[in-house]
Amino acid sequence: MKKLLIVLSAWMMLLPAGLTAKETFGFVDLGNNFRNTDAKNASPFLKFRDKNSTVKGDAAVSVYEPGRYFDVLFSDIAQDTAEYGLSGGKYEKYSYKFGYNGIVNNSTFGARTPYALRGTTLVYGVGSGSGSGNSKNTDLDNWGTIDYSKENKNLYADVKYKLNENMYFGLDANKVASSGIAPRYRYGYQVIDEDTTNVALEGGFKSDIFFASLKGTLSKFEQNITTYKAYAEGINVDAYGTGKQGSYQLVNDPSNDSLTVELSSALYNLPLSTTVALNVTRTSSTSESNMSDGQPPGGYANYGAGTAPNPNLIAALLTGSGGDALATYKGDHTYLTGNVIVKSNPISSLNTTLYYKYLDKKNESTHFYSSAKGESENFAYDKKNMGLDVDYKLPLSTKISAGYGQLKIKREDRGDAAKTDDKVISVGLRNDALDFISGGEKYTNTKRESTMGDAATEGSGPTDSAYIERFNRRFDDTDKKEKRLTATADLAILSDLDVTLEYSSVKNDYDKTTIGRLSDDRSIIFGQVDYALFSWMNISAFYEREKVQYLSKQRAMGTGAGFSYDPGAAATATTYNYDITYDDKVATYGAALTMKFMDEKLKTTLGYEKQDGDGNLNNAIQAGGSTTEGQPISDFGDYVLTRIKARFDYEISRDVSAGLRYTYERSRWEDSMWKVQTDGSSYTYDSAYADVNYVAQEIFASASYRF
């Protein structure tokens, strides 16, 4: 509350300069949240809100005078999600914006961990247990708790200035400081401490027939914590983590720099009402990671007895092109894009769009080798996307459309798909002739042809583990046939009754895939009704249902007679093919009632919403395969989320109002994988993402003053 008063006082000091202007107006809002225990401890309920602050304040003032303006906005004052902004300018001459905003992303409250942080770079075990040597620490009662959350603090500035009627330039800069803790590996965690700085300079020229601009952006990402040393799973540690056997190194995302240069241009008012737009962008990004591992402060002797970890574990596993230990990894990526779009309107009823888009990614990063995993692959590619879209207006408010496009991708170091070629055809129809009904449909057909790379000849024979790559395809680049349909209808059945209906479906058939995804289907239906029952009462309701089904084929590899990486080989009890079918249905529905009383001074809104997810996973094992594996999972992503909301707004006078809001939210998860991670019966228990079952209630009371 003290921080709130300080900020409000500073805000009020900005007012006197504008009070003599012809127009000055603004507002001050103050409020407070009252939450039950579940609401305070459920991260999904407070996903993007400040957990520790319940007092909320907003304030703004706007000052206008001939040719000039000035705005000040303070939102979520003194909270982690606060925004403080100052903007203004002179019309047709210059403008400026300066400010700060905070963003919070809460993942889990009260997660459990056997690790603790010392200093800024090291992670150590905590807790005690009966384990010794390399056994796990199963004494969960002595584990600590931790909140998984990330906070971004963004400082920004944006200035634009017009040199004359045709020319302008602009400077845009911001710095984002990110901090927090995120889950990493079983019950370890990663401390976030990083900065991102962006500076952009732009200049341009614009006339009635021509536009051109040149923009350069420099971005710098700095990782303030470069490496972690984490001890293996609960190795006989005391409260301060003296165990060190099995230590391993975690390398964080490296610091990196990128430079983007963008040229945009356009020609207007060409013959046949044609506009031509051009954009060329080049982005280069470089990074560097130190793969060698130093010792903790004071050496390992200060951290208990045991076998000393390998100080250069990662470097010892990886070698460079010359066979030497890999001490440094350098990332070097370059993106070059070019887009040309030509839009024409040769006659009033005909519109055409012709486009060509190009993207080339080059990857000159460090090439390295691993005795366990083989050679690294520097993934690079180029994309060429071209096409033509046409729409034509027919009599009776009818419009037809058609389009043809082609997407060609050539990939480097992608063995399962060196090249793909997508051909896309679309047709559409829309009619708005009748006052009480309008709607349209669009159908799109895509056919992709894919050419395998080195994977087509991988492996010396069916007993070579690399042989399976001859049959393994990824759905993003394998051959496919796709059918996509969308349909909409808007009905005005009565003057006060509106109905909206929507349907969409996507069906993919990966007909050349042996191992991998074979097909996927998705469909969505949506309906909404709005009815003004009386001048003071409005009722609305909606329903949406989404259905998804994925079908994949995989191969289980065992040992013994009949062992083979060839999916066409006969099945044995340990080596066989199996089909996986994942079905998911999500239904979301709700209703709202809005009423106005006392000459509309009192407004009331009541709302109800429910979302029900039902997922199932089924396995069909090849005849002759295992008779014990592949049991169906009926609760695979099952959940129910229920919300009830009530809002009351009362206008005390023209300038003063008060509000009261109530929120009820109930969440229930029944997911098999989630249960395994959070059942509390094994050393894997860390409670990451475990606070998803809750019954949260919140009341927010507020008062507002307008001037």
Task: State pLDDT tens for residues 323-342.
Answer: 666 777 889 999 999 999 99
Q: Between 702 and 235, where is the model more confident?
A: 702
Written as one letter, the residue type at 224 is N
pLDDT at 606: 98
pLDDT at residue 576 greater than cutoff 90: yes
pLDDT at residue 186 greater than cutoff 90: no
Confidence of residue 558 (pLDDT cuts 50, 70, 90): confident
Edge-first strand listing for the sheet containing 369-370:
318-319, 369-370, 374-375
Confidence of residue 370 (pLDDT cuts 50, 70, 90): confident
CB 19 within 8 A of CB 669: no
The lowest-confidence range among 97-101, 223-227, 486-490, 546-550 is 223-227
What is the DSSP secondary-structure string of 74-104? EESTTSTT-EEEEEEEETTTEEEEEEEEEEE
**Mean pLDDT for the stretch of residues 177-199:** 81
pLDDT at residue 396 greater than cutoff 70: yes
CB 551 within 8 A of CB 578: no
Could you tell me the two tokens for 683?
């050393």
Confidence of residue 6 (pLDDT cuts 50, 70, 90): low
- DSSP class of residue 114 equals S
Output Rg (C-alpha) for the chain, integer angstroms. 31
Q: What would the pLDDT profile of 483-521 be if each residue is shown by its tens digit?
A: 999 999 999 988 899 999 999 999 999 999 999 999 999
Neighbours of 51 (CB within 10 A): 19
pLDDT at residue 555 greater than cutoff 70: yes
The lowest-confidence range among 69-73, 129-133, 405-409, 497-501 is 129-133
**Mean pLDDT for the stretch of residues 176-201:** 83
**Mean pLDDT for the stretch of residues 117-127:** 38
For residues 563 and 462, what is the distance between their CA atoms, to the nearest angstrom?
A: 8
pLDDT at residue 374 greater than cutoff 80: no
For residues 514 and 473, what is the distance between their CA atoms, to the nearest angstrom?
A: 7
pLDDT at residue 537 greater than cutoff 80: yes
Confidence of residue 312 (pLDDT cuts 50, 70, 90): very low
Closest by Cα among 178, 328, 334, 146 to 251: 328
pLDDT at 21: 52
Q: Between 681 and 590, where is the model more confident?
A: 590
Confidence of residue 683 (pLDDT cuts 50, 70, 90): very low
Q: What would the pLDDT profile of 224-260 be if each residue is shown by its tens digit?
A: 875 554 443 333 333 333 333 333 444 556 789 999 9
Confidence of residue 219 (pLDDT cuts 50, 70, 90): very high
pLDDT at residue 349 greater than cutoff 90: yes
pLDDT at 297: 38
Written as one letter, the residue type at 673 is M
CB 589 within 8 A of CB 610: yes
Q: How far is CA 77 from CA 33, 43, 98, 452, in A?
A: 14, 21, 16, 57
**Mean pLDDT for the stretch of residues 136-158:** 77
pLDDT at residue 626 greater than cutoff 80: yes
pLDDT at 181: 84
pLDDT at 54: 84
pLDDT at residue 179 greater than cutoff 60: yes
For residues 162 and 94, what is the distance between their CA atoms, to the nearest angstrom?
A: 6
Q: Between 494 and 358, where is the model more confident?
A: 358
Closest by Cα among 99, 98, 95, 101 to 170: 95
Neighbours of 2 (CB within 10 A): 7
**Mean pLDDT for the stretch of residues 258-271:** 96
Q: What is the pTM of this model?
A: 0.84
Q: What would the pLDDT profile of 402-453 be if each residue is shown by its tens digit?
A: 999 999 999 988 888 899 999 999 999 999 988 889 999 999 999 999 998 8
CB 110 within 8 A of CB 145: yes
**Helix or strand or coil: residue 387?**
strand
For residues 319 and 327, what is the distance between their CA atoms, to the nearest angstrom?
A: 8
Helix (H) or strand (E) holding 345: strand 328-347
CB 186 within 8 A of CB 688: no
